[in-house]
Structures are given as C-alpha cells and as structure tokens.
Copies of this chain bind each other. A is one copy, B any other.
Amino acid sequence: MIIVLKPLSNQSTIDRLTRRLEELGMKPHVIVGVERTVIAATGKEQEGTQAELEGDTDVEKVLPILAPYKIASRETRKEPTVVQTGSLTIGGGTIGVIAGPCSVEGEAEILEIARLVKAAGATALRGGAFKPRTSPYAFQGMKERGLELLAAAREATGLAVVTEVMTPHHVELVARYADVLQIGARNMQNYHLLQAVGEQRKPVLLKRGPSATIEEFLLAAEYILDQGNLQVILCERGIRTFETHTRFTLPLATVPYLREKTHLPIVVDPSHGTGIASLVPSMSAASVACGADGLIIEVHQNPAKAVSDAAQTLNPAQFEATLATCRKVATALGKSM
C-alpha cells in the first residue's frame, strides 16, 4: 500500500504514521520526494487499514497495490477453469452456446424452441422461470411450473438447463431442476444470494452488473468461490453508459482483460448487450473473435410474440445463421464450437 502524504508534512506526522503502520503489523518505507513524502507499506494488510489511512487528515491519498480478489485470480491458479455439466462445456478452447427464450411461456413452446436451438447448434437451453422485471406490473414468470417445463425440455432434448434464481430461499428449488444457476445482473451484488449459490454445488453463471467495475465483478465471483463452489462462469452482458442507441453498451474488451486476470470462463450475452436483434449476429461473431468461451443468446419461435425482450430476440433461422458465422470464426482461430 502506498500512502501519499499532503504537501509539506512534517517529521512528527511521518513518525506518527510509521508507528501506526507498525502497530497494524506492516513495514513502512519512507520516501522523501521534492514535493511530497510517500510511505510504502509492505506486509499483510488488515481489513480497514486502507480506510483508516484515507480518513487521516495528513494523508492525501492511498494507492492499493494488490487486487482484492484471490481465489478468482490467475495468480492463484494458472490453468483455465472448465465448467462441464451435461451437454454444456465452457472453457478450455470449447465454446458453449446457451440459447432459448427470455421467459418460459408454456409446455409446447419450450419443447419446440429447445428442439430448434439444439438443431441449430446450441449446447444448453436458457429460459426464465423466475423473472426479475423492472415494473411490478410486468409478467413475473411461470415460477416453479416453468422449472418443471425446463426439466421436461432437458429430458426431451438432452440440453443442459440454465435458469435464473432471484432470492436465497429459491436456491434449493431452482437447483433441483437446473444444471446451471444464473445470477442476473441486478443481483450481482446480492450477497446473500451469492453465498447461497456458493453453498450448493451446481455451476453458477454470474452476470456482470450494468455499472459494476471489473474488480467488483470478480469480488462478486469471490463470494461464490469463497463458499467452496469453484464452478463460476462470468458473463459480460453490457454496461450502462450514455449511449442510448443500444439498450446497453457491450464492452468486449472485458473478455481479453478478464482472461489476463482470472482463470474463470467468460461468456458474452449479445442479446442484452445490445437490445437489438439485428446487432446480435455481428456481436456474437465479435465475441468469439476476441476469445469468449461461450455465448448466451435469446431465441424464440416468433420473437414478436415473445412475452418479454422481443426486440432483442432472434428467430431460429437467424440464430442458425449466427452460429454458422461464429463457427467459421472459431474454426479460423483454432477453437471448437
């Protein structure tokens, strides 16, 4: 930790701060510059030390050096984590494709779309049974009945099921039916929920919150990992910026950046990331090109009739064409898809 003192700090301030750092179990190194004095403190940092120093009236700023996440860090584990469950493999050079409707709408509908996305090349089925909706007046999902229908679709097609869980007391229920538990973007910092999915042993797909920094994103993963569940898939789904022509801004540099920092696999959601169906094919190809381990795409038999997210949903033909393009890119880059 680097502590930058305010200009013109005198020796008694420096002495006071070095003593305090020693009390806290750190080793201070004082560097007197022309305009500023800085103290570099090495050794194990206790919880709260940074905050205390930032609050000190003689301190201008504190610059942390180490990343605060540990289990998620590539420094902890060099080899990439591969998540494998049923039909779905994500990571280690295999690109997984999770596809399906925004919401489960009925038995016939989910079976049909499951068969269609499988035929087009999907390796897992997505579909919301519990739906987080901005408005309390919007459709909130088929709930447990939706989970049963997803399980029936898995039965019929062999596709692994990815579905969202919204609150801790639903974790056990959702885990009974799903192969992968999804944490939605709005819940990325719902820590009780993160701990609850960390306590069970099914893989978790964690969506980045629309205003989360990378550090916050990896610390949210750390909440899950820290409970002993090491099967976490990170999902970039777009951030909120001043851009309004797309629903969110899809910052694909997250993919190679996260690759440098973490061993966890990374998927991209170009449906939410753009909010516009016509942009999904090219952004899917771009995701594969920059190294994503997987895609999660909204597909519906008839997007205009979908009960939610119609504007960003592909129809089966569009989805098939999208995957064909992505496969060409993957092959060109030596990946299997």
Contact = CB atoms under 8 A, between A and B. Distances in A.
Contacts of A215: 134, 245
A6 to B, nearest CB: 10
Given A2-B63, A211-B240, A43 B54 contact: no
Contacts of A242: 211, 213, 239-242
B310 A55 contact: yes
Interface residues of A, number: 110
A246 B253 CA distance: 8
Contact of A304 (B56, B256, B260, B308): B56
Interface in A124-144: 132-139
A288 interface: yes
A232 interface: no
Contact of A51 (B42, B256, B308): B308
Contacts of A310: 48, 51-52, 54-55
Given A55-B310, A282-B291, A329-B333, A245 B257 contact: yes
B40 A40 contact: yes
Contacts of A191: 132-133, 136, 166
B241 A251 contact: yes
Contact of A306 (B38, B55, B329): B55
B289 A329 contact: yes
Interface in A1-50: 2, 4, 7, 29, 31-36, 38, 40, 42-44, 47-48
Given A29-B29, A244-B244, A246-B257, 6 more contacts: A38-B40, A57-B304, A167-B167, A246-B253, A253-B279, A283-B290
